[in-house]
Amino acid sequence: MLLLVDNETIIELAVLVGGEDAGRIMKLLLKKPGITDEELSRSLQIEVREVRRILHKLNEQGILHYELTRDKETGHRIFKWYVGQEQVIGYIITNMNKILDRLRERIEYERSHQFYWCGSQGHPKLVFEDAVEKLFRCPTCGKPLQPHDNSELIQALEWKIEQISKYLEQLEKVRKVEVEQGEARKPAGKKG
Ligand SMILES: [Zn+2]
CA of 149 relative to ligand 1 center, distance in Å: 16
> Which of 33, 48, 83 is a domain's end point?
83
Over residues 101-126, the pLDDT tens digits come to 999 999 999 999 999 999 999 999 99
| Cβ-contact 166, 100 below 8 angstroms | no
**Cα 26 to averaged position of ligand 1 atoms, centre (Å):** 45
Q: How many angstroms is it from 99 CA to the middle of ligand 1?
A: 30
* pLDDT bucket at 4, cuts 50 / 70 / 90: low
Asked whether residue 49 falls in the same domain as residue 125, the answer is: no
pLDDT for 1 equals: 40
- Ion ligand 1 neighbours (CB, 5 A) are 118, 120, 123, 138, 140-141
Rounded to an integer, the average pLDDT of 163-172 is: 85
Q: How many A from CA of 13 to the centre of ligand 1?
A: 37
Q: What is the whole-number distance in angstroms between the Cα of residue 131 and the centre of ligand 1?
A: 12
Looking at the structure, tell me whether residues 93 and 177 fall in a common domain.
Answer: yes
72 with 158, same domain: the answer is no
Q: Which residue has the higher pLDDT, 92 or 127?
A: 127
How much distance in Å is there from the Cα of 124 to the middle of ligand 1?
7
On whether the CB atoms of residues 170 and 1 are closer than 8 A, the answer is no
d(CA 83, CA 10): 9
Question: What's the CA-to-centroid distance between 5 and ligand 1, angstroms?
Answer: 43
- From the CA of 153, how far away is ligand 1's center (Å)? 19
Residue 191 falls inside a structural domain: no
Q: Is residue 77 part of a domain?
A: yes
**pLDDT higher than threshold 60 for residue 187:** no
- The answer on pLDDT for 192 being more than 70 is no
The pLDDT tens digits for 42-95 are 999 999 999 999 999 999 888 899 999 998 999 989 999 999 877 888 888 888
Q: How confident is the model at residue 182 (pLDDT cuts 50, 70, 90)?
A: low
Q: How far is the centre of ligand 1, averaged over its atoms, from the C-alpha of 79 (Å)?
A: 58
Q: Which residues contact 96 (CB under 8 A, 6 or more apart)?
A: 164, 167, 168, 171
Residues 130-166 have pLDDT tens digits of 999 999 999 999 999 999 999 999 999 999 999 889 8
- Whole-number Å distance between alpha carbons of 119 and 144: 9
Same domain, 134 and 70: no
Q: Is residue 192 part of a domain?
A: no
Return the pLDDT at 176: 72
| Same domain, residue pair 73 and 93 | no
- Is the same domain home to 61 and 94? no
- Cβ pair 34, 82 in contact under 8 A: yes
- Is 119 found in the same domain as 36? no
In a domain, 68, yes or no: yes
Residue 58, domain extent: 7-83
Relative to beta strand 35-36, strand 64-70 is unpaired
